[in-house]
Amino acid sequence: QQQVKQSPQSLIVQKGGISIINCAYENTAFDYFPWYQQFPGKGPALLIAIRPDVSEKKEGRFTISFNKSAKQFSLHIMDSQPGDSATYFCAASMMAAGNKLTFGGGTRVLVKP
């Protein structure tokens, strides 16, 4: 049973465009929702994270939108650049239970120049 479902699996966007990745979760006890960026041959690196008491968080060109009632959250990459080409993972966890991350399946993003 996949507790965090991520879509799409892959995404191609033109330079300057907007990349949107969506995730849905099932466990209402989750209270921490991070997004990770991974380049080939490297480990995931934290990009941005949100708690359920906030509906939106923005850091530079990256924005998380969170809908608690729908149990969904999404990552928006504004003004996408070729350097943003990577695999993105959403995740969810319960802080009080050791912050064990449950990951989505990943989205491979390709930004064309």
Partner 1 sequence: NAGVTQTPKFRVLKTGQSMTLLCAQDMNHEYMYWYRQDPGMGLRLIHYSVGEGTTAKGEVPDGYNVSRLKKQNFLLGLESAAPSQTSVYFCASSSQASQPQHFGDGTRLSIL
Q: Rounded distance, CA 7 to CA 25, Å?
A: 12
| Angstrom distances, CA of residue 100 to CA of 12, 75, 78, 93 | 31, 21, 29, 6
95 contributes a contact to partner 1 by CB under 8 A? yes
104 contributes a contact to partner 1 by CB under 8 A? yes
Q: Would you state the structure tokens that stand for residue 104, as one six-digit string?
A: 């989505």
81 contributes a contact to partner 1 by CB under 8 A? no
42 contributes a contact to partner 1 by CB under 8 A? yes
Residues 25, 43 contacting (CB under 8 angstroms) = no
Residue type, 55: S
> In the set 28, 53, 69, 98, which binds partner 1 (CB under 8 A)?
98
Comparison of 39 and 58: residue with beta carbon closer to partner 1:
39
Binding site for partner 1 (CB under 8 A): 4, 6, 9, 32, 34, 36, 41-46, 49, 89, 91, 95-106
